[in-house]
Amino acid sequence: MCHPDPTDVVNIAKAVSKHKVTLLCATATFLRLYTRNKKVQPLMLDSLRTVVAGAERLPETVRTEFKAKFNKDIYEGYGANETTPVASVNIPDKLDPNDWRIQQGNKPGTVGMPLPGCAFRIVDPVSLASLAAGESGLILISGNQVMSGYLNDVTKTEEVLVELDGRRWYKTGDKGYLDKDGFLSIIDRYSRFAKVGGEMVSLTSVEQEVGSALTALEIGNSDVNIAVEILAVNLPDAKKGERIVLLSTVKIELKSLKDRLISQQVNPLMLPLAIYQIDELPKLGSGKNDFAEAKKLALQLTLSNKIQ
């Protein structure tokens, strides 16, 4: 069942119910809309057997709210356009009738294990030396679904495809690690790290810390609190190399937020220099945050506010 507008969750939910759809794939941003829209009744999604989220990190709040409203688990996956596009996914746990042990297929917080015929390798981003389980580094993907190359762009193809131990690997640009059971966890895009005072700071980690702090701050009524969206952006800084600013869809008092983060013993390098309230975060057609446009917007707001 296809629908032209992924934000039209009411009509999508009606179609799911009418056609007894069993599988729903969406980004976390769009899945959040199902839980917040009061016109989407839980029974509309009753036929779904599997709900898969991908393309962006799945916040725990989206997972728990979706479960509470629809009694459906969200299984998080991972991939890239260059892997056409799926590389891994969590799946439901299964009970083995031979020994009655549970075969774990789902670890919330991870993006699952690689698809059959696919493999992950975590390496040092410079030397490409393999790293042990639990160590974080550049994620490489190998398998039949990896692209042959970028169309008419040999140079770019050679930058991201490498042969190691007789296999072709795609360099994802993502930082992550494999646990002892082979489940992959994503830390962040290497491009989404700010270099503040010589140290690398994950912007996703900043967003998570801020999100945790916001639950303890008065930023408006409960309806606004639920709908808040934030995005951390790194901008050039003459003294520290880069600075971190926040874009937010609600008004947040900077000093109160900083005080709360300090009380949570957050690394001082993660504290934002400024917070800008905007109507909505820049989005791509997929529902993912548009980081490039967000950075341009943050720079414009910084210049207009004359922050040095």
**Both structure tokens of 6:** 């992924």
> What's the predicted TM-score (pTM) here?
0.82
Domain extents for the chain? 9-72, 89-189, 197-304
Q: What is the pLDDT along the chain (308 residues), one digit of tens a residue?
A: 889 999 999 999 999 999 999 999 999 989 999 999 999 999 999 999 999 999 888 989 899 999 999 999 999 999 999 999 999 999 999 999 999 999 999 999 999 999 999 999 999 999 999 999 999 999 999 999 999 999 999 999 999 999 999 999 999 999 999 999 999 999 999 989 999 988 999 999 999 899 888 876 655 444 434 467 899 999 999 888 999 999 999 999 999 999 999 999 999 999 999 999 999 999 887 778 899 999 999 999 998 876 54
Q: Do the beta carbons of residue 217 and residue 262 sit within 8 Å? A: no
| Confidence at residue 218, expressed as pLDDT on a 0 to 100 scale | 56
CATH of region 89-189: 2.30.38.10
Please determine whether the domains at 9-72 and 197-304 fall in the same fold group of CATH: no
Task: Provide the greatest CA pair distance for the chain.
Answer: 68
Q: Which CATH number fits domain 197-304: 3.30.1330.10, 3.30.2310.20, 3.30.300.30, 3.40.640.10?
A: 3.30.300.30
Distance in angstroms between the alpha carbons of the first and the last residue of the chain: 52
The correct answer on CATH 3.40.50.720 for the domain covering 9-72 is: no
| Confidence at residue 34, expressed as pLDDT on a 0 to 100 scale | 97
- 97's enclosing H/E stretch is none
- How many other CB atoms sit within 10 Å of the CB of residue 204? 16
86-89 and 113-114 beta bridge pairing: antiparallel
| Confidence at residue 304, expressed as pLDDT on a 0 to 100 scale | 85
